[in-house]
């Protein structure tokens, strides 16, 4: 795995405040929107602060996530991820999902096999990546309004409050996301795009998302023994490098760090995107492949991965490694993937 270009505690992508965004007058909204578009043009990534999701809500999401993953496997398996790749809901146990399995050369979410048209090399690379186990477990949640992807809720008696909270959290994240989509549209529009009355279609992207097709994902990267760290990147990884395929992703991460993003110059060099010391509840926002198309290639969908866990000896259990000495820290993150309605995806 290649080295990082910055120290893990040095913030590296722009930090943009969305304080009162929708209440601001157009020139101030435009200022924020331009900052966001500039960040997404250069890095494909930005930190967003003052996004409107309360810190207490985010903390509750992390608490419920940690409780879920700490519960017995038999309980977690009461809401298993259905077999196959069509439905992305419920509990995926460590090793079930390999991000490399969802990698393709044509961005359609399906793995590309060699077919005699020069893709053999890519297929061979993907096959090699498939030998690597992703050291993570996850729980995927969608809208109860999406009949094609039915939620797999765990039993209320085993996880009291989980369903109710996550349902509301999904909506809260959707509201924050709509604001980000409005800003992206405004930042990309110029005065030439104005209507007869001078109005700008700030809802151009937001209106393509009904909110029923997003995906809220609870992620847990379990601690790993220090003596397995040398295997890291060979037989084990947290999440290999990939781009997100949909429109935008909003992510909360805990204090551990590990998210790495390819530098604007590319060339396989990555920079750390750690939690902000000044605002641990800031979101990391990134652009997905579909948004690149919709912005006529102005915005960038950037490769990112989850890197080597910090090697810290746990002696008191405070780092999530259950007190076992010689384990790395556990890490939790919560991505929220914005997805358009299925008909639009086909048309895009
Ligand atoms: O856990 C993280 O920080 C990144 C997760 C991610 O990139 C993804 O789920 O697509
Ligand atoms: Fe991602």
Whether 307 lines ligand 1, by a CB cut-off of 6 Å, is no
> Could you state, in order of their start, the residue ranges of all structural domains in the chain?
15-99+121-338
> 305 alpha carbon to ligand 2 midpoint, in Å?
7
Instruction: Name the pairing type of β-strands 15-17 and 45-49.
Output: parallel
> What residue owns the CA closest to ligand 1's atom 3?
259
297 CA to centre of ligand 1 in angstroms: 23
Average pLDDT over residues 236-250: 89
CATH architecture of residue range(s) 15-99+121-338: Sandwich (2.60)
What DSSP line would sit under 265-313, residue for residue?
T-TT-EEE-PPBTTBTTPEEEEE-HHHHHHTTT-S----EEE-PPP---
Q: Is 259 in contact with 316 (CB distance < 8 Å)?
A: no
Q: Tell me the pLDDT tens digit for each residue of 122-166.
A: 565 555 544 556 678 999 999 999 999 999 999 999 999 999 999
What's residue 198's pLDDT?
72
Which bin fits 166, alpha (ψ -120 to 50), beta or left (φ > 0)? Answer: alpha
pLDDT at 155: 98
pLDDT higher than threshold 80 for residue 92: yes
Q: pLDDT tens digits, residue range 290-345?
A: 999 999 999 999 999 988 765 555 444 554 544 455 677 889 999 999 999 877 65
Rounded distance from Cα 231 to ligand 2 centre (Å)? 23
Instruction: State the average pLDDT for the chain.
Output: 83
**Tokens representing 118?**
């020069």
Whether the predicted pLDDT of 183 surpasses 50 = yes
Parallel, antiparallel or unpaired: strands 248-253 and 283-287: antiparallel
**Predicted-assembly ipTM surpassing the 0.95 threshold:** yes
């Amino acid at each position: 795995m290649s080295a990082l270009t910055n120290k893990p505690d040095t913030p590296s992508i722009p930090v943009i405040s969305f304080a009162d965004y929708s209440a601001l007058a157009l020139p101030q909204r435009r200022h924020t929107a331009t900052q966001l578009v500039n960040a997404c043009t250069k890095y494909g990534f930005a930190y967003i602060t003052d996004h409107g999701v309360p810190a207490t809500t985010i903390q509750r999401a992390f608490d419920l996530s940690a409780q879920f993953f700490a519960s017995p496997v038999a309980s977690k398996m009461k809401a298993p991820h259905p077999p196959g790749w069509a439905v992305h809901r419920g509990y995926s146990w460590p090793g079930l999902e390999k991000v490399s399995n969802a990698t393709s050369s044509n961005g359609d979410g399906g793995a590309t096999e060699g077919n005699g048209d020069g893709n053999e090399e890519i297929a061979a690379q993907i096959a090699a990546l498939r030998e690597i186990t992703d050291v993570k477990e996850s729980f995927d949640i969608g809208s109860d309004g999406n009949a094609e992807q039915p939620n797999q809720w765990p039993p209320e008696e085993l996880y009291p409050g989980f369903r109710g909270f996550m349902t509301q959290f999904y909506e809260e994240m959707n509201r924050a996301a709509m604001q980000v989509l409005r800003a992206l549209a405004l930042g990309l529009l110029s005065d030439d795009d104005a209507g007869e009355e001078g109005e700008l279609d700030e809802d151009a992207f937001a209106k393509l998302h009904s909110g029923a097709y997003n995906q809220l994902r609870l992620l847990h990267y379990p601690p790993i023994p220090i003596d397995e760290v040398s295997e890291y990147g060979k037989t084990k990884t947290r999440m290999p490098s990939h781009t997100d395929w949909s429109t935008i992703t909003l992510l909360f991460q805990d204090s551990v760090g590990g998210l790495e993003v390819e530098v604007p110059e590319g060339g396989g060099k990555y920079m750390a995107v750690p939690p902000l010391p000044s605002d641990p509840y800031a979101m990391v926002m990134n652009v997905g492949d579909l948004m690149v198309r919709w912005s006529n290639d102005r915005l960038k969908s950037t490769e990112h991965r989850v890197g080597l866990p910090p090697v810290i000896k746990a002696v008191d259990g405070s780092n999530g490694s259950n007190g076992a000495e010689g384990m790395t820290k556990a890490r939790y993150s919560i991505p929220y993937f914005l997805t358009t309605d299925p008909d639009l995806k086909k048309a895009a």
